[in-house]
Structure 1
């Protein structure tokens, strides 16, 4: 959270547009924090996007393009192996596939699809936020409920921003119990 993932995705897709490559950006329907038909960074950068719920919709919408981008991949509703297979299928077709998403949930456990894609990808850039407590690189998303760490049995996916999450380093992160 708050590491600039969407900002970087937008920057790269603007380069693709400057190069006049046919491209399409997809955003999960579940993510309605800013708008449903755009990817939007916390700093306000935006690009038009196609809202989807599944990797199958991404595959169906990838006809006639050279580059696709998927923001907040961890919000897709498919099983991890379906997401990975779908991204592999697109890459095997010769498309350049850019994805942005969290590698860990609020329990500091890997999102399985992201972990697998990071292992299979030709290039991985891991971005870091800054810990709100000490200023170190933040590698964790601390979910908060009424200012306290969320319990381990809370739902894994809850869309939110500064109202629900804080970027924290390993030392400042409080393990969900």
Structure 2
């Protein structure tokens, strides 16, 4: 982790950053700025949405970057609520990493020892010895998940 970010457009310039572990830690900092950005926001706790709302109410411009879905293709922590309430959205997509597939990838495939992770495995894994964990961008066609339920059956019917 570094205390600065750089731009490929201005390579000699390092912009100051403050690293925090919990969204509410932002209020412990000297916020003498106009723009606050959260990167890898999917890893923050469920209080990120409330923190963002509070910052906006205090007239800060807030930028939130992160994955919208976890490896199960479900909303990742507060990201769905943040996306729904955003004034502007920029949804970036990758290209599927499976050979000979060039579809847009909107999903993240977690591989453990080169096999798709099970649905019930933890949302965030801490590195462990003898386990190879990696992630790939996948399209809906190439994404693999064994759901413990029929995903096509609605979970809630009104």
Normalising by structure 2, what TM-score?
A: 0.76
- Counterpart among 42, 51, 57 of residue 74 in structure 1: 42
8 A Cα contact 2:117 2:145, kept in partner = no
Deviation per CA, 1:15-34: give whole Å up to 9, x if none. xxxxxxxxxxxxxxxxxxxx
Between structures 1 and 2, the one with greater helix share: 1
Q: 1-side partners of 2:126 and 2:83: how far apart?
A: 22
Q: 2-side partners of 1:50 and 1:168: how far apart?
A: 32
Q: Which runs of 5+ in 2 are unaligned?
A: 128-132, 148-158
Kindly name which structure, 1 or 2, has the bigger radius of gyration based on alpha carbons.
Answer: 2
When the two chains are superposed, the root-mean-square deviation of aligned CA atoms in Å is 2.5
Q: Which structure 2 residues correspond to residues 4-43 of structure 1 after superposition, within 5 A?
A: 35-38=1-4
Normalising by structure 1, what TM-score?
A: 0.69
CA offset at residue 156 of structure 1? 0.2
- Counterpart among 113, 118, 121 of residue 146 in structure 1: 113
- Mapped pair 1:172 → 2:158: no
Select the structure with the greater relative contact order (CA < 8 A; seq sep ≥ 6). Answer: 1
Alignment size in residue pairs? 136
Moved more, 55-64 or 123-132: 55-64
Q: 1-side partners of 2:30 and 2:24: how far apart?
A: 10
Structure 1 ranges of 4+ moved more than 6 A = none
